[in-house]
Amino acid sequence: MRLHHRLDDRDRMQLRMTPMIDVIFLLLIFFVCTASFQPPEQWLPTMFSLPGSVSEAPPLEEELEELEQVVVYLYGPGSSPRWKVNQRPCRTLEELAAALRRLARIDNRIPVILDPEPQVPMGEVIQSYDLARAVGFQRIQFAARPRGG
């Protein structure tokens, strides 16, 4: 004697939710990992003027139009360091701040590379790093010298 098991209509209509939840969870992880967390463009500052206003951006120097990085050299005797920003000398910390501020207004996303000579005190290097951060640069790096060179 054989027993036949009849599937109830309710059993046929029931969906298994566990695989669907797994797929949704994997999709959620994928989209979170690939999302770029940047502010929307409408909140970013622009150089465009409102309709009816008259203003013109000052022309950039030729060398600043293709600015890819800012290199800050620190050199000189220990107690009175000097700086060069892209080969232009700065004698005081105020001149360095003004030069960095001007470059940050152009594009603060370009990297700033600090290149101190070995005799420059670490406090001056840190002060230059803090100054670059304060004027708005986001990527600040240190130059590395090859060993034995």
Predicted TM-score (pTM) of this structure: 0.53
* pLDDT value at residue 48: 60
Burial of 36 (0-12, 13-18, 19+ CB in 10 A): exposed
Query: Could you give all domains of the chain from N- to C-terminal order, each with its CATH number?
Result: 66-142 (3.30.420.270)
pLDDT in tens, the chain (149 residues): 565 656 666 666 677 788 889 999 999 999 888 887 665 655 555 556 555 555 444 454 544 556 788 889 888 876 677 889 988 888 888 889 998 998 888 888 889 999 988 888 888 888 889 999 999 898 898 887 776 65
* pLDDT value at residue 44: 56
Separation between Cα atoms, residue 75 and residue 120, nearest integer Å: 6
Separation between Cα atoms, residue 64 and residue 61, nearest integer Å: 5
Separation between Cα atoms, residue 18 and residue 32, nearest integer Å: 21
> In 100-121, which positions are buried (b, 16+ CB within 10 angstroms) versus exposed (e)?
bbebbeeebebebbbbbeeebe
